[in-house]
């Protein structure tokens, strides 16, 4: 199955190139924001929205206008792409409003600012050139009207890239992100047939498999662990005079610290998701309302754990690898139901880790019981149902999972 994949490399532009990129970002932002402004005005006065072709023609004209002739100083392709991105942003927003688009809420496009992550996209039309000598640790990306930018080459691209986006993060880091069309990688033969994952905070997830093995995935709480340092940097920034050179320096230091947290988290989640996919043929997950949970008292911890990202990565990688990924309804009471006799009990406060089922008397471990229920609700582990409650009883028993294990991730703990 062919799919579009991104490959990112760190870029090291020279001072002059960084300046050229800065101008380019400014122009892209201008084009994008003008699209949003036109759209909003038209909406207010009830006029007809100009078509994309009209807007593109408009863009060409504004290059001859003395007020906006600076648009000529940068490559034309990223500007057209910005226009396209703005259009797509509105298309997605309206599709979501109408209900044609599934998934999480799509917000209304907003103006781009100087402060966030900056990006400019070049397509093949722009004739960007990528040079890399086999085995060399550096590569060179030649961009029109920017120059030959040095890249740190960390892995080879599978095919010739279709587009490249040059990104500047708030911490001052540059990246070149290439899109390629690739066929999926070869996934190893799965070790386990079916697994249910109960996502949580104490451990990021408890994986219960139909063959009786279980595993707790550690929740490293990246944000929480660096909170002291981040607070210190926040205070330092507050002391500086806005707009001063020292303010800029403190802002960059703070942005770099936050970026570090983000990078470490994404790296951990990617590796975890990859391992889940490689090891299990079928995976059942809950559908969680992350935006809803983020507003609660546990919000910070929920976002720090990265549940949403984990679910997204497992789903995407699983689809690519041809694994069977199933999601169960968010209304299903996986914690309250007993997985042996399927009788629903009262809600349980978070501090209760184990209990006896009031109906059948089975000893249940909170996370293990939930994971088995998720597997059953997803229609996985039919064999479990066929064997009757006995297997379920063993699977849901408080075992090694009652405390999260700090273990090498690839180890599994047999139950018997």
Binding site for Zn ion (CB under 5 A): 338, 340-341, 357, 359-360, 362
- Shortest Å, Cβ 364 to Zn ion: 8
Q: Label residue 78 exposed, middle or buried (CB < 10 Å: 0-12, 13-18, 19+).
A: buried
- Please say which residue, 258 or 355, places its beta carbon nearer to Zn ion: 355
Catalytic residues: 198, 286, 367
- Please say which residue, 217 or 362, places its beta carbon nearer to Zn ion: 362
Q: Which two tokens stand for residue 68?
A: 């906006």
- Shortest Å, Cβ 195 to Zn ion: 22
Q: Within 10 Å of residue 376's Cβ, how many Cβ atoms? A: 22
- Shortest Å, Cβ 357 to Zn ion: 3
Closest CA to 341 of 397, 385, 288, 404: 385
In the chain, count H helices and then E strands.
12, 14
Closest CA to 333 of 341, 325, 322, 344: 344
C-alpha 362: how far from its chain's center? Answer: 39
DSSP H or E segment with residue 309: helix 307-321
Residues 189, 194, 199, 201: is their CA dihedral positive or negative? negative
CB 290 within 8 A of CB 300: no
Task: Quote the CA–CA distance of 360 and 118 in Å, as a whole number.
Answer: 59
- Please say which residue, 82 or 392, places its beta carbon nearer to Zn ion: 392
- Please say which residue, 70 or 355, places its beta carbon nearer to Zn ion: 355
- Please say which residue, 208 or 254, places its beta carbon nearer to Zn ion: 208
- Please say which residue, 54 or 359, places its beta carbon nearer to Zn ion: 359
Task: Quote the CA–CA distance of 251 and 216 in Å, as a whole number.
Answer: 38
CA distances from 225 to 217, 228, 350 (A): 17, 8, 22
Q: Which two tokens stand for residue 299?
A: 């919000």
- Shortest Å, Cβ 3 to Zn ion: 43
């Amino acid at each position: 199955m062919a799919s579009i994949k991104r490959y990112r490399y760190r870029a090291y532009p020279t001072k002059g190139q960084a300046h050229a990129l800065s101008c380019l970002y400014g122009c892209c932002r201008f084009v994008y924001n003008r699209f949003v402004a036109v759209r909003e005005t038209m909406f207010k006065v009830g006029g007809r929205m100009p078509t994309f072709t009209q807007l593109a023609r408009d863009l060409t004209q504004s290059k001859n206008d003395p007020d906006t002739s600076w648009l000529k100083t940068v490559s034309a392709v990223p500007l057209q792409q910005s226009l396209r991105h703005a259009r797509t942003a509105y298309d997605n927003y309206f599709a979501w409003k109408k209900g044609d688009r599934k998934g999480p809420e799509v917000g209304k496009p907003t103006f781009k600012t100087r402060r966030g992550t900056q990006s400019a996209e070049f397509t093949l039309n722009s004739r960007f050139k990528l040079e890399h000598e086999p085995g060399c640790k550096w590569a060179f990306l030649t961009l029109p009207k920017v120059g030959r930018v040095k890249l740190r080459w960390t892995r080879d691209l599978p095919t010739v890239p279709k587009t490249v986006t040059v990104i500047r993060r708030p911490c001052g880091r540059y990246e070149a992100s290439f899109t390629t069309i690739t066929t999926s990688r070869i996934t190893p033969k799965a070790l386990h047939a079916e697994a249910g994952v109960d996502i949580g905070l104490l451990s990021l997830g408890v994986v219960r498999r139909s063959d009786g093995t279980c595993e707790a995935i550690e929740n490293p709480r990246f944000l929480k662990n660096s909170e002291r340092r981040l607070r210190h940097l926040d205070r330092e920034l507050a002391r500086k005079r806005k707009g001063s050179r020292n303010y800029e320096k403190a802002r960059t230091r703070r942005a770099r610290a936050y970026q570090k947290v983000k990078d470490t988290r994404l790296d951990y989640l990617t590796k975890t998701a990859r391992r889940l996919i490689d090891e299990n043929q079928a995976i059942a997950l809950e559908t969680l309302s992350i935006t809803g949970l983020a507003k609660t008292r546990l919000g910070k911890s929920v976002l720090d754990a990265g549940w949403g990202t984990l679910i997204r990565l497992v789903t995407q990688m699983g689809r690519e690898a041809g694994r069977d990924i199933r999601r169960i309804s968010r209304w299903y009471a996986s914690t309250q139901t007993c997985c042996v006799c399927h009788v629903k009990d009262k809600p349980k406060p978070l501090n209760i880790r184990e209990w006896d089922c009031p109906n059948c008397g089975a000893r249940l471990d909170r996370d293990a019981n939930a994971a088995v229920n998720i597997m059953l609700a997803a229609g996985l582990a039919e064999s479990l149902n066929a064997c009757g409650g006995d297997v379920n009883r063993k699977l849901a028993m408080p075992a090694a999972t009652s405390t999260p294990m700090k273990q090498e991730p690839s180890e599994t703990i047999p139950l018997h």
